[in-house]
Amino acid sequence: MKTLVTSILSLAVAAVLGSAAFAEEATPAKGAAPAHHEEGATPHYPLKEPKEEEWSFAGPFGHYDKAQLQRGLKVYTEVCSACHSMNLVPFRMLDELGYSEAQVKAFAANYEVQDGPNAAGEMFTRKAVPSDHFPAPFANVEAAAASNNGAAPPDFSLIAKAREVERGFPRFVVDIFTQYQENGPDYIHALLTGYEEPPAGFQVPQGGHYNPYFHAAAVLAMPKPLSDGQVTYDDGAPQTVDQYSKDVSSFLMWAAEPHLEERKRMGFMVMIFLAIFTVLIYLTKRSVYASKEH
């Protein structure tokens, strides 16, 4: 047992030291061009790595901030929903954000969904009810692509879990011990706040927008979606791009993993059980072998 614990601690220390050395080696000297801008270098995307932000749901005791989730829902409905669907999220789940049943019904009624067929065999539209899912802004993928420079906007239901930037060795080993699982929200926040002017000599294709945090290329079809003062908050929170990005990132994390708090509570209870069980096993072993000659 002592050997196992020592080995694990040694691995953790080695990973931490390796991560620090890797970061120091990867950081360009002052005034030097990043590796992806060096002549003849092969680009590695994203060109800039997302910064680790502070999230209320991080760590073993993390929890969702309902006020932030409500703000994120507001940003999504007023900005993101014009292009991005959430096909896997039903309106009824919004009660977990602190809304009453009447508020959820009123919110759902703002949308229209297709239903049917009716008695005449025809499809029809009606107001949405809590059991319905967020409707897509386009009839199909082809229509979505045609309206967005040929690139269909992805569905947002699981985007916070699907758009994780790989951190590589040895940092992923360190993440095991720090329980870092916020790659997705960090990436979304970095992308939304990362639009900038391209470096000298970089040609941006027509209809493209330079963003070094994009995970697939240096240019993406989506223009900068947020600007300061674009969404009005009623709780006095800052109405800035940075705040909008954090709020909608948190909301998308909740949409992708709505049972995160329950999972963490269950995990904590399991760890307590295992700790008590280990002590009981040890005491049982000592009791059984106390009278035995060694």
The domain that holds 182 is classified in CATH as 1.10.760.10
| 209 found inside a domain | yes
**Contact by Cβ (8 Å): 240, 231:** no
232 with 250, same domain? yes
Does 63 carry a binding-site annotation?
no
144 with 162, same domain? yes
| 187 found inside a domain | yes
Per-10-residue mean pLDDT for the chain, 294 residues long? Answer: 50 48 41 48 84 93 96 98 96 96 97 90 93 94 90 95 81 80 94 96 92 94 96 96 98 96 93 96 88 70
How many domains are there within the chain?
2
| 161 found inside a domain | yes
125 with 236, same domain? no
| 176 found inside a domain | yes
| 22 found inside a domain | no
214 with 102, same domain? no
Does 36 carry a binding-site annotation?
no
163 with 200, same domain? yes
103 with 207, same domain? no
Report the distance separating Cα 135 and Cα 69, nearest Å.
20
User: How many angstroms separate the most distant Cα atoms in the chain?
Assistant: 88
58 with 103, same domain? no
Domain of residue 198 covers: 46-85+137-267
Parallel/antiparallel/unpaired status of strands 124-127 and 209-210 = unpaired
Structure tokens belonging to residue 247: 């709020």
126 with 189, same domain? no
243 with 178, same domain? yes
pLDDT at residue 21 in the model: 44
pLDDT at residue 290 in the model: 77
124 with 248, same domain? no
184 with 131, same domain? no
Coil/strand/helix, residue 124? strand
pLDDT at residue 175 in the model: 81
179 with 215, same domain? yes
Does 83 carry a binding-site annotation?
yes
